[in-house]
Amino acid sequence: GESVGLHLPTLSVQEGDNSIINCAYSNSASDYFIWYKQESGKGPQFIIDIRSNMDKRQGQRVTVLLNKTVKHLSLQIAATQPGDSAVYFCAENIGGGSTLGRLYFGRGTQLTVWP
């Protein structure tokens, strides 16, 4: 069954504010997590990833935080822009050396940025 979920289906923020999108997972064996962004009419696009041996990873305007104690993942977007409006998915891989690149996706959060 689905093991990855999101706390909020929608999030609206004002341009320039910071956005935080949350994700919960239930499988302790998950060792790799990815955030994807999907704009209307397009396929999911990789944003940032993090492995379970890390707590935080930063990219350009984005930060992913991983709290393995409570099985929680978050994506922080700094200075949110209208172009950030999209659906954001978290995905987990239950690896541990598995040879299958199976990603479990959450339902997604629709981020809307208004001026």
Structure tokens at 12: 């609206």
Site string for another protein, 59-98 (x = CB under 8 A): ------------------------------x-x-x-x-xx
Q: Give the shortest CB-15-to-another protein separation in angstroms.
A: 26
Structure tokens at 82: 């209208």
Inter-residue contact 24 to 6 (CB < 8 Å): yes
CA separation (Å) from 101 to 26, 33, 97? 18, 12, 10
Phi, psi of 84 (to 5 degrees): -85, -10
Q: How far is C-alpha 78 from the geometric centre of its chain's CA atoms?
A: 14
**Nearer Cβ to another protein (78/94):** 94
Site string for another protein, 8-37 (x = CB under 8 A): -----------------------xx-x-x-
- The residue ranges that bind another protein (CB under 8 A) are 2, 4, 31-32, 34, 36, 41-46, 49, 89, 91, 93, 95, 97-108
